[in-house]
Structure 1
């Protein structure tokens, strides 16, 4: 049995330092990559090739992080604190049709995308250092022909040409009639790093077919102004940002209003048909939301 009731005070205090471990891990990978570049004779690389080194360091960090995470705890009748990862399986089992998988990383959630209701999956992953692991995962899960890796962000100016390059014809109707492309858009721990999120979500909404859905499980800015939020956790988020969280962890932003951007994406169309979002771990520096937003059918 899982619960989202706040844990004891000492656990909440320790939870404020949870991002510290991730930040230290990411910094260590970045330093190692810089050292390797200097040893190769690229002495100025940390200054002149910062973007390249950040990409390589983040790829290493993310591979190490996703392969070191423990599995779910054994079943118990005692109430346990909800874990964000436990929210993902019931969410992704509803994916269907043509799927856009935003920022799939190493493909850790790919085993959850094997439903016969899914016709094709397009994984938009701008960090090319993760592509090898992502491709290997697709092959291992039997999705080698169904999963298409796109070396781009989800900004339509990059996404649409990358979709065209797959030669699958997935954009034909969109180019001819302005129709939507995707039946499902998956956002799992990725919208924190998407540039110009408000505009990007509005543009992605336009690529969603009528009746299509967005499946979301994201960490968000702490709702410290609400009863379930925490001012201490909100301050901690700001401190981590100052310490370089976004720089070392793939442009991730701890204090981003992801939920606001998701809800506002449909404002120009009269709003979503339905929004079912739940909030979790409001006491922590890594609070989450999860749920489904469905576009109006025509």
Structure 2
């Protein structure tokens, strides 16, 4: 997609249809997994009583397949082009939220990064994630945490993997844990987003930075937004987008939640966010939010 408003009706129409191809792709994986469970494994009732497990496996397959072409592309395009210049500024102890298959790892090889923790709740992606870390020479630096981003999951997993990482935080929570937190196409699917963004803020060290590339609800009430795109988002959600795409939501006010996350300290030191593709059914925000230093 072109981040600027497209000139033709055809381009605008494609912007409305983009999510449909992704949903169809993911749905075929889900029904294939269900079919295998019933007809190959004899688990006739699995689609009813093991829905969560089947969804996890299907989404893992979909995401592996979806991400591979992006790895092979010569130059990132569309929303993917927003990611490299941002992630290359990562430094210190990094939390990579929902890393999937690790397609972002080539951007996390800078010498300014000391340690990376990848919090990935989809266990079906872990083997691919570890393989990617090894192939990029990050095997000793990249730690896979089998958890979501919620503090009640993340902190115990981090404590088990690297107890020393929490030493300062256990003494004084204001010290934080991470210098950089990466949110790339992940806040759309976390439960209790407002609570999650507040917890992420608290886990940043003073002066720490939250790097964001997220698709958001269409700002249809603004001059650059689109009412048609907002309606399309609602239609996709009704048709099962969230079910097939790993609990992803197309209609979250992620920017609002991020700005409010620092309210306890009177706001962020700085917020540098830009909007992209506001005419489409998958508009994005990208940029950096910096926590106040002590």
Do both share a fold (TM > 0.5)? Answer: yes
Q: TM-score range by the shorter chain?
A: over 0.9
Out of 204, 228, 240, the residue aligned to residue 232 of structure 1 is: 228
CA distance in 2, matches of 1:3, 1:235: 20
Partner of 1:12 in structure 2?
12
Residue 10 of structure 1 and its aligned partner are, at CA, apart by 1.4
Out of 75, 80, 86, the residue aligned to residue 81 of structure 2 is: 86
Determine whether 1:120 maps to 2:115.
yes
Out of 253, 257, 267, the residue aligned to residue 261 of structure 1 is: 257
Partner of 2:293 in structure 1?
297
Does structure 2 conserve the Cα–Cα contact (< 8 Å) formed by 1:6 and 1:281? no
How do 1:109-258 and structure 2 match up within 5 A?
Answer: 109-178=104-173, 179-258=175-254
SS of the residue corresponding to residue 121 of structure 2 reads: coil
Determine whether 1:23 maps to 2:18.
no
Partner deviation per Cα, 1:162-213 (whole Å, 9 max, x = no partner): 0011135101111122220000000001110010000111011111000000
Determine whether 1:46 maps to 2:47.
yes
Residue 140 of structure 1 and its aligned partner are, at CA, apart by 0.3
Unaligned 5+ segments in structure 1 are: 75-81
CA distance in 2, matches of 1:229, 1:14: 16
Partner deviation per Cα, 1:87-145 (whole Å, 9 max, x = no partner): 11110111000000000000001000000100000000000000000000000000000
CA distance in 1, matches of 2:285, 2:167: 34
Over 4 Å off, 4+ runs: none
Out of 260, 274, 278, the residue aligned to residue 274 of structure 2 is: 278
Determine whether 1:287 maps to 2:288.
no
CA distance in 1, matches of 2:212, 2:200: 14
Partner deviation per Cα, 1:214-259 (whole Å, 9 max, x = no partner): 0000100000000110000000000000000000000000011111
CA distance in 2, matches of 1:252, 1:191: 8
Does structure 1 conserve the Cα–Cα contact (< 8 Å) formed by 2:3 and 2:78? no
Q: How many residues are aligned here?
A: 290
Does structure 1 conserve the Cα–Cα contact (< 8 Å) formed by 2:3 and 2:276? no
Higher helix proportion (structure 1 or 2): 2
Unaligned 5+ segments in structure 2 are: none
Does structure 1 conserve the Cα–Cα contact (< 8 Å) formed by 2:5 and 2:279? no
Partner of 1:71 in structure 2?
73
Residue 5 of structure 1 and its aligned partner are, at CA, apart by 3.4
Partner of 1:62 in structure 2?
63
Partner of 1:79 in structure 2?
none
